[in-house]
A and B are shown apart, each in its own frame.
Chain A
Amino acid sequence: MRARVLVVDDDPALAEMLGIVLRTEGFVPAFVSDGERALAAFREVRPDIVLLDLMLPGMSGIDICRAIRAESGVPIVMLTAKTDTVDVVLGLESGADDYVVKPFKPKELIARMRARLRRGEDAPPELLTIGPFGSQITIDVPAHLVSRNGYEVKLTPLEFDLLVALARKPRQVFTREVLLEQVWGYRHAADTRLVNVHVQRLRAKIEADPERPEIILTVRGVGYKAGTS
């Protein structure tokens, strides 16, 4: 099945070029150039992945990102011309899973998109439990279900992957680089802020007190690990 891509970008030349590349690579692209209509287009197209330009007329990319994230866990890859920490972190915090900085190479973009789409094809039955007694998290891997004290916690696919990666090897400390490779699919050095921001987002959803995490622990100077009972 060919994946549907919603491209939200106001630059017609770039959109057209993206269309050419995406079609060459076997995607089915749909375009929207106006921020105001992005959400309607999203509901109509029901894409498998969204490419979102951060600077848009009408409604900012950040707002669109939040709006989409509010109703769907669909992978969002930001296209950004800004590399400043504030912009990138703001984009990631508003719900984007990954970002590519303009001017990107087409192969780089395609690799990022495929990494976001390639997931959970044939997972074996697996039930993981992490966290200390009293606030344990249960993860049903094939069903994509995470529950805390019997209540389901809604996670985006990326957050789910991050949690599973940590939960599969409790007690092991994952460096940010290892997580970038396992979860995001980066083969080489990439932005470790991706990990920081997503761990924070994940903590906000699963921890009783995100300020004092018990499930995803920070190992100072090294990385993160899953808390065990």
Chain B
Amino acid sequence: MPKPGVSLPLMRLRERTWSGVRRGPMRHVLRSGTTVGTAVRSRWRRSIQLRMVTYTVVASSILVALFGVFVVTRTTNSLVHAKLVSAKDQIQSGAATAKSYLDQLGQHDESTASVTMLLIVDNLSQGGPGGPVPVVLLYPPAGLTTVAPANSSSTVPIAALNAALVDLRETVGTSHLAHQFVSCAVVNGRPQPCLAVGIPVSSARAGVFQLYYLFPLTAEETAATVTRNTVLVIGAALVLTLAIMAWFVTQMVVRPVRLAARTAQRLSAGLLDQRMEVRGEDDLALLGAAFNQMAVNLQRQIVRLEDMSRLQRRFTSDVSHELRTPLTTVRMAADLLYSNRDDLTPVMARSTELLYAELDRFDELMTDLLEISRYDAGFAVLDAEPTDLVPTVGRVIRGLAPLAEHAGVAVEVRVPDVPVIAEVDPRRAERVLRNLVGNAIEHSEGRPVEVTLGIDEHAVAVTVRDHGIGLKPGEEKLVFNRFWRADPSRARQTGGTGLGLSISLEDARLHGGWLEAWGAPGRGAQFRLTLPVRAGARLLASPLPLVPRDADVATAVALPTAASTSVVATERSGNTTVTVAATNSATVRSDDRTVTVATTSSAADDPTTEIVGPGGDAAGERPPVDADAAVTTETLNDMVVVDVGADDVPGTIDDAADVVSIHRSAGRG
């Protein structure tokens, strides 16, 4: 469906202006700043390979990282766990040893206690049960206030140890075996992680002592570091290997695809013998083989079509020549007979006249047929040159003067002040105009024909307006059909081959131009030819409107917006009476062109609504319409489109057409 007339070209125009700006120098300035970002983004968009490698690297990095963390954690944990178990065993044995010493202590024998504690600490650190211990600490019970804790380490001061063990000491209290990882400075005085285990040792009389072992975790930490580094190196190597593999694998796949794309481009550029190289028997070879097969078929088809087209052209040309030569002879003979018809008997004279006249028609028909077949064969060539259409129109009108005079039709020409120069094929442009003006004269029924020229920056336009019987809705498209006749009985009188407008449409298209029709019953018709000023340029808008201003279709149409039963208008024209109830309508106004969408339905049970077909008598019997006649009119893109959805309404098209004209008269009122 076409969109509203004005806005679409305008929108396109705006888009075009935008892109024009972006293509201009502005973009150049913008570019220098964002070159890198743009380049990367464009590379990312274009290269499957880059994307695949990136995805692989990201995915494998995540996997390797998870795996590494898992391995390192597991290793460290198991190392620490083993250490912890052995440490607890050791301290329990140590506690037993210590207990055997401490049991001998008296209740307040503080000096002995000091000595005993030092002895125990010394003993245990040197090599108690389970081997030597780096740091052994023995805290006296709370009752022995004057006794200092015994410390086996000479390098770590007791104050530092006290500070490190505050929490653990609380936990151990008098009854728990507990451990804690603390920071201690055993080796080289540097703080380093240590495992501290503590156990209460109750002596028989002197109270509960606390025994602590501190094991530096140097070896475990070293092992963990080594594991971590190993995992890191292996992981990195893995990721790199995967990235390289992904690169090569995608390369393997992408290369033939790129090759296929390049070959396809060459093929589409017309190099039909381009083929892909096929190696091996794998999927890619299959792709290449299938591609080549396609190319072969394509080439065969194209060559076949080209041959056909060439044959068709040859045929057209040959038929043209073969037919024209005898026709020339016939024509000359007929001419000779015709100019001497006074010497013939009346019957023979009349026959000669008929022969002569029909030969003209035959000639026209053949010329038109050959012309259209030339278009069908794609053989029409545009021979464009800058041409002023004003003298062309003048020539056309002078040439048609005898016809206009015979029909009693005045032809008015309206030209702008500037010359209407465009790059057109003068022969074709003239042929189109001759056709349009000739048609208008034939169909204007004695009323004047107006030819208007217009030009703007991009296009030239000629409209040819007549005030004859006009076109019925839908006929704006049909008129361009081959051998289409508005009214078969009229066509016989007016003649014409029935191909004129079809050829004109092809002529306009060959220019990249438009040929459009507007018409309304009883209001005449208007044809508009729009051609680009520069040959081959794309048309966006026409300098002249397709719908004439006096047609009033495009001007204000006042319809009630949502009145279910209100009568819009009643028009009596001839014996056709149409009363319309509007149920739904919308009018969108834009400039001087109006988009009107009106849905009108008439229902049998509504007393205000009746449609009487052209056959009905307005005064007497009115055949009631029992079907819903839904009439939708849309004035879009300067065209009147009328859709009629009714099942069994006689003369529906005419009714619908009248509805259109009623809308118009309602707008005027």
Residues in A lying within 8 Å of B, measured CB to CB = 11, 13-14, 17-18, 20-21, 24, 55, 79, 81-82, 84-86, 101-107, 175, 177, 188-189, 191-193, 196, 220-222
Contacts and interface: CB of A to CB of B under 8 A. Distances in A.
Contacts of B396: 189
Interface string B381-414: 1010111100100011011000000000000000
B326 interface: yes
Given A82-B320, A84-B381, A175-B391, A103 B335 contact: no
Contacts of A196: 385
Contact of B325 (A24, A102, A106, A175): A102
B392 to A, nearest CB: 9
A102 B320 CA distance: 9
A196 to B, nearest CB: 8
Given A86-B381, A104-B328, A55 B321 contact: yes
B426 interface: yes
A217 to B, nearest CB: 14
Given A103-B363, A106-B336, A81 B321 contact: yes
Contact of B320 (A14, A21, A81, A191): A81
Contacts of B321: 55, 81-82, 102
A103 B322 CA distance: 11
Contacts of A221: 386-388, 419, 421
Nearest to B385: A196
Contact of A188 (B374, B385, B391, B399): B399
B187 to A, nearest CB: 98
Nearest to B398: A188
Contacts of B330: 103
Nearest to B367: A83
B599 to A, nearest CB: 50
B381 A17 contact: no
Nearest to A107: B335
Given A11-B325, A81-B321, A189-B430, A24 B387 contact: no
Interface string B46-70: 0000000000000000000000000
Interface string B335-353: 1100000000000000000
A175 B426 CA distance: 13
Given A14-B329, A82-B321, 16 more contacts: A11-B325, A17-B333, A81-B320, A84-B317, A85-B383, A101-B324, A102-B325, A104-B328, A105-B335, A106-B336, A188-B395, A188-B398, A188-B399, A193-B427, A220-B386, A220-B421
Contacts of A82: 317, 320-321
Interface of B: 317, 320-321, 324-333, 335-336, 363, 374, 379, 381, 383, 385-388, 391, 395-396, 398-399, 419, 421, 426-427, 430
A127 B320 CA distance: 47
28 contacts: A11-B329, A13-B326, A14-B328, A14-B329, A14-B332, A17-B329, A18-B332, A20-B332, A20-B336, A21-B335, A24-B336, A55-B321, A84-B317, A86-B381, A102-B328, A103-B328, A103-B330, A104-B331, A105-B332, A175-B391, A177-B391, A177-B395, A188-B399, A189-B399, A191-B427, A196-B385, A220-B386, A220-B421
Contacts of B335: 21, 105-107
B381 A85 contact: yes
B518 to A, nearest CB: 28
Contact of B426 (A55, A86, A192, A222): A192
A121 B176 CA distance: 145
Contacts of B326: 11, 13-14
A221 B398 CA distance: 21
Contact of B332 (A101, A106, A222): A106
Nearest to B313: A84
A188 B399 CA distance: 7
Nearest to B426: A192
Contacts of B324: 81, 101-103
Nearest to B396: A189
A17 B332 contact: yes
A134 B326 CA distance: 54
B419 A81 contact: no
Counting from the closest, the 8 A-B pairs by CB-CB distance are: A102-B324, A81-B321, A221-B386, A81-B324, A221-B421, A103-B328, A103-B327, A102-B328
A221 B330 CA distance: 40
Contacts of B328: 14, 17, 79, 102-104
Contact of A189 (B374, B385, B395): B395
Contacts of B386: 220-221
A107 B399 CA distance: 18
Nearest to B340: A24
Contacts of B379: 84
A162 B320 CA distance: 32
A51 B421 CA distance: 37
Contact of A81 (B325, B374, B391, B421): B325
Contacts of B419: 221
A109 to B, nearest CB: 8
Contacts of B327: 102-103
Contacts of B325: 11, 14, 81, 102
Contacts of B333: 17
A103 B395 contact: no
A14 B331 CA distance: 10
A193 B395 contact: no
A196 B330 CA distance: 33
A86 B399 CA distance: 26
A92 B616 CA distance: 65
B388 A222 contact: yes
B528 to A, nearest CB: 22
A85 B419 CA distance: 27
A198 to B, nearest CB: 15
A107 to B, nearest CB: 7
Contacts of B374: 84
